[in-house]
Each structure stands twice: as structure tokens, then as C-alpha cells.
Amino acid sequence: MEKGCSGVEREPVKKGKVFICGAGPGDADLATVKAMKLLKTSDVVLYDRLVSKRILDQIPARSRKIYVGRAVGDPTTHQTQTNQMMLRYAKEGKQVLRLKGGDPFVFGRGAEEAEFLQSHRIWFEIVPGITSAIASPAYAGVPLTHRKYSSSVAIVTGHEGAEKEELAVRWDKLAGAVDTIVVLMGIGQLAQIAHDLVKAGMKKSDKVVIIESGTTKEQRVIRGTLGTIVKASKKAALHPPAVIVVGKVAGLADKLAWFRQT
């Protein structure tokens, strides 16, 4: 809210509205009911790289569909362009669906986009989605918590933005602080992550599981330890998107694996 000359708070401009929405981890069946309703009623859909094609195929022909996905290494100015499109269409009175893979508030820049919209007095709503940090391990038979093995979980990013001057994840503090560590966007930094965790006191024998393209028919699961996972991942030629799980629960992947690609 902003205050006018009289000191009375003013409501945001009531024109269009932007829904910052999570599309889920990859399996289209894991998208929420609300996300699918918005997909069919929005005038404009701005979608990311990891949104399932099955979901995108359900966008009505009358809706404008615009790809705004950004891969690692793309210029950060891309986000500015996305922000401006949300603003422009909302000011035109359109219902805008900003569709993101996973959950918009889990390393999805959803909060940054919401802050941008709020600063321009544009109505917005946050629609949670199922994050790959939870779904991918579940599809690989890896519970993030377990009464015997894990009572705490940390979800961290393995990729630091180019605009950051120093690392945000303190691996030396993280090791030993929680039972299970989930790393998103960490494949490119896997060797450094494994090295830092061992240097911080974890054992080379500690279990690790990597799930590539989790919840989809392309899902692959690579098992190992902090001492072997780098070699195993190189041999498998793993590539993003992938979720890394470190901790005792990773050892349950063989026992509880249930997902069979068809």
C-alpha cells in the first residue's frame, strides 16, 4: 500500500492481475488444480524452460503464450525483460499467468517478481507448486525425513548467481548441521560441493543420490557416496535439471524405488 497526499493509503492499481504460479516438478499430473484452472483462463502465459509440454499443450489457442525461460549462463537482463512484460500486460488489463517449474518461492525468483509488481502497484497472487526438491527424491524412493535417519533437511542452491560477489551457501557450516542436504542446480559444481562437504567433516562414505529429470519418463537415478559420486555422474553424463540428495536417507533409494518409466 502507498499513502497519498492526504496520508490515506491507496490500493494498488486495479487493472490486470499477475499470478506467479508453480507448475510442479515435471510430471504434468503433479500440477495443482488451481494452476490448471488459471492456465485455461489467463490472457497471457509467460512460461519457463522446465514447464512440462503436456501442461503447455493445454493453453487455449486464444491465450498468448510466451517463452521466457532462462538457462544457466543466459544474461541476467532476461529477468528485466520478463518483469517488463508482466507489467505491460497487467497494465493493459490482462490476466497474466507467470508459470514456473516447481514452486515459485523455492529458487524460482518468484519473490523478486512479486516485489517488482508490488513496487508498480500491480495486483498479484502467489500460487504454490510442488518443488523438485521434494518430488524428485520421492520418485527415486528417497524420503527427506525418516524417524531413524533424518529429522532435519536443508534445501540449498548449487549455483550462485553471476551478480553475487561471494558464495551464499556455507558448506562448512551446513555439514553436520542437518541430517539431509538437498542441492538444486548443483550438477556443474558437484566436484566442488563434494570436496567442500568432506573438508567440512562429512565422510567420503556418506550416501549420495542424484535424480536427473525427476518425475518424468526421462528420470535417471545415480547412486554413490561423496567419494564416488563425481566419477559416477561423469560416467552417466548427467545433465540438468537434477537434484542431489546427501545423507543416510539416500541409502534407501535401492529399497524404496517404485517409479517405473513407461
Each residue's pLDDT tens digit, 78-112? 899 999 999 999 999 999 999 999 999 999 999 99
Sorted by sequence, the CB contacts under 8 Å of residue 161 that are 6+ apart come out as: 76
Percent of the chain with pLDDT over 90: 85
Cell 551457501 belongs to residue: 169
Give the pairing of strands 220-225 and 207-212.
antiparallel
Band (233; pLDDT cuts 50, 70, 90): very high
Asked if residue 11 has pLDDT above 50, the reply is yes
Asked if residue 241 has pLDDT above 90, the reply is yes
Give the pairing of strands 9-10 and 2-3.
antiparallel
pLDDT in tens, 103-152: 999 999 999 999 999 999 999 999 999 999 999 999 999 999 999 999 99
Asked if residue 6 has pLDDT above 70, the reply is no
Band (15; pLDDT cuts 50, 70, 90): confident
Domains of the chain: 10-127 (3.40.1010.10), 132-256 (3.30.950.10)
Asked if residue 252 has pLDDT above 60, the reply is yes
Instruction: With beta carbons less than 8 A apart as the criterion, state whether 215 and 132 touch.
Output: yes
Asked if residue 160 has pLDDT above 70, the reply is no
Instruction: With beta carbons less than 8 A apart as the criterion, state whether 144 and 249 touch.
Output: yes
Mean pLDDT of 2-17: 59
- Bridge partners of residue 66, in order along the sequence: 46
What is the model's pLDDT at position 12? 52
Q: Which of 113, 106, 89 is nearest to 20 (CA)?
A: 113
Asked if residue 8 has pLDDT above 90, the reply is no
pLDDT in tens, 200-217: 999 999 999 999 999 999
What is the model's pLDDT at position 77? 58
